[in-house]
A and B are shown apart, each in its own frame.
Chain A
Amino acid sequence: MSETVLEIKDLSVRYEDCDVEDLQVMDVSFEMKKGEILCIVGESGSGKSTLIKAIHGMDRTRVVNGTIEAFGKDMSGLSKKDRRTLMGTDIGLIPQNPYSSFNPIRRYEVQFKEALSAQKMEYDKEKILSVFEKIGLHDGERILKCRPYELSGGMNQRIAIAVAFLFEPDLLMCDEPTSALDVTTAGMVVDELVKMKEEQNTAILMVTHHLGIAARMADHIGIMKNGRMIEYGPAKQILKNPQEEYSRKLMEDVPRLKR
């Protein structure tokens, strides 16, 4: 299968309340097929999170130039409502700081019901609990009765990941999904993501500053600096033989997680 899921062409993005010339993403192009993991690596401020936000059309991002096509649909041409219906089961997102991606003062139970019903999915408690187990959340019954503000950052982050798993999207975008997790749990999450790709043929777009994570799961790697994608290619090639000076420096700086 080599069906194209996401196609980005000459994309330039800025934030709504910033000046016109102040672009966060410049001339970025790439393509993702089903069952492919693309990791975009860069320092903070390189524009990698903005890229994900722009694909969602959220957080006041403005596409200045270029196109975003998901499942053959031009995203910027979609109405707000049509775009919203794509979210969840078609395009999933594990946002940056996922521990603040839930309403802090409503119980998880109602929030799960709300999200599932928006996707026209059944609220199946057993299924939720089993997804929780996979990423090390053992006290699922209690968690569902809790409000997000009562739980730790790492717990909330894993719950956000659990929702993404539950939706089984065709395209999953992850923005630093393991920022609040310890190394072991982060490893568990990465393994589950890889398993998801293998079992469900999910395309995963992962944004991280952690080259080690990219090395462990990526099929393709893109390296971003100052809003530009300065290097893009198969993971092995990029890791072994980076072309750009900056990429080489990045490889040296980051301690690699060995397979």
Chain B
Amino acid sequence: MSKRKKRQKIKIIIATIFALIVVVVGALANFIAPHDPNATNAMLMRKAPSAEYLFGTDNMGRCVLSRVLDGARITLASTFLLVAISFLVGIIIGMLCGYYGGIVDTILMRIADLMLAFPQMVVAIAVAGILGGGIFGAMIALGITMWTGFARLARSHTLSIKNEPYITAAKLNGKNGMQIIFGHIFPNIVENVLVNALTQIGTTMIGLAGLSFLGLGVTAPQAEWGSMISEGRAYLQLAPWVVIFPAIAIIITIIIFNYLGDVVMEYRRMD
């Protein structure tokens, strides 16, 4: 058994290293980028990849490599921010519902049920559309339904530990509800919910890129992988590299984070 676990641990470490590389590249995008991602140049329209422009240039003569890097920054930042906010909102609501129960719990969980009754991407498209685009609009659109999953998970974990002796002991020591929730429940359930959040990163990225592709995410001229692919497909025949490179970037990133989520889940199932 232990050998399999060790092997799994190595897989996790490798996936984490790759994920960290992607994150560092995204964070340092502005320093690594060889050109200004938004600088246009009419002389350099749709140039094929060369030593100067490794990934070529797009319809407006912008450096595709710099735009892919800048897109990494935006994609990663918005994905992480969205997952983090949904995670925090979800876990807090879930803990409150699970710990206090009663009418508030009933109402909030009903709302969560309602949110789950809508297909997520349909709501996201409608809401992002009504909010008129922009990356924050897209994040709100996806976030509306996203917190519910975390809330349900946090609630069920809270319910399963709330009668444990250490919680009762804390109560007897005169700790109030908030102290117990954040001092005792949170540290005990956070790992479970965090792993779930990890598995949501890939799907969230796909969702945000999809909205950007439809023109409901980032606004021009900001680079983002989804919108780059959307722009580039109009002249796909003339300059396929404008689409291919952001496509490779998005596939690799999603594969890395999905793989990380998978191996961590599998590792935890081995216990």
Asked if chains A and B are in direct contact (CB within 8 A), the reply is: yes
Interface residues of A (CB under 8 A from B): 17-19, 22
How many residues from B make CB contacts under 8 Å with A? 4
- Flag whether B4 is at the interface (Cβ < 8 A): yes
Residues in B with CB closer than 8 Å to A17 are: 1, 4
Interface of B: prevailing SS:
helix
| Residue of B with least CB distance to A17 | B4
Which B1-24 residues have a C-beta within 8 angstroms of A?
Answer: 1-4
**Dominant SS at the A interface?**
loop
Once the chains are docked, how many angstroms separate the CA of A17 from the CA of B1?
7
- CB neighbours (8 Å) of A18 from chain B are 1
In the assembled complex, 5 residue pairs joining A and B whose CB atoms fall closer than 8 Å, in A order, are A17-B1, A17-B4, A19-B1, A19-B3, A22-B1
Tell me, in angstroms, the Cα distance from A19 to B3 when the chains sit together: 7
The closest CB in chain B to the CB of A15 belongs to B1
User: In the complex, A22 Cα to B1 Cα: how many Å?
Assistant: 9
A61 CB to closest chain B CB (Å) equals: 16
A67 to B261 CA separation, bound complex (whole angstroms): 44
Q: How far is the CA of A252 from the CA of B142 in the complex (A)?
A: 68
Cβ contacts under 8 Å, B2 to chain A: 19
Smallest beta-carbon distance B4→chain A, Å: 7
By beta carbon, the residue of chain B nearest A19 is B3
Nearest chain B CB to A20 CB, angstrom units: 9
Instruction: With CB as the reference atom, state the residue of chain A lying closest to B3.
Output: A19
A60 to chain B, nearest CB (A): 13
In whole angstroms, how far apart are the Cα atoms of A19 and B2 in the complex?
A: 8
Q: Which 7 residue pairs spanning A and B have beta carbons closest together?
A: A19-B3, A18-B1, A17-B4, A19-B1, A19-B2, A17-B1, A22-B1
What residues of chain A lie closer than 8 Å to B1, measured between beta carbons? 17-19, 22
Nearest Cβ on chain A to B260's Cβ, whole angstroms = 23
In the complex, A18→B5 CA distance in Å? 11
A149 to B4, CA, bound (A): 35
Q: Give the residues in chain B near A22, CB-CB below 8 Å.
A: 1
Q: B27: shortest Cβ distance to chain A, in Å?
A: 40
Bound CA span A17–B2, Å = 10
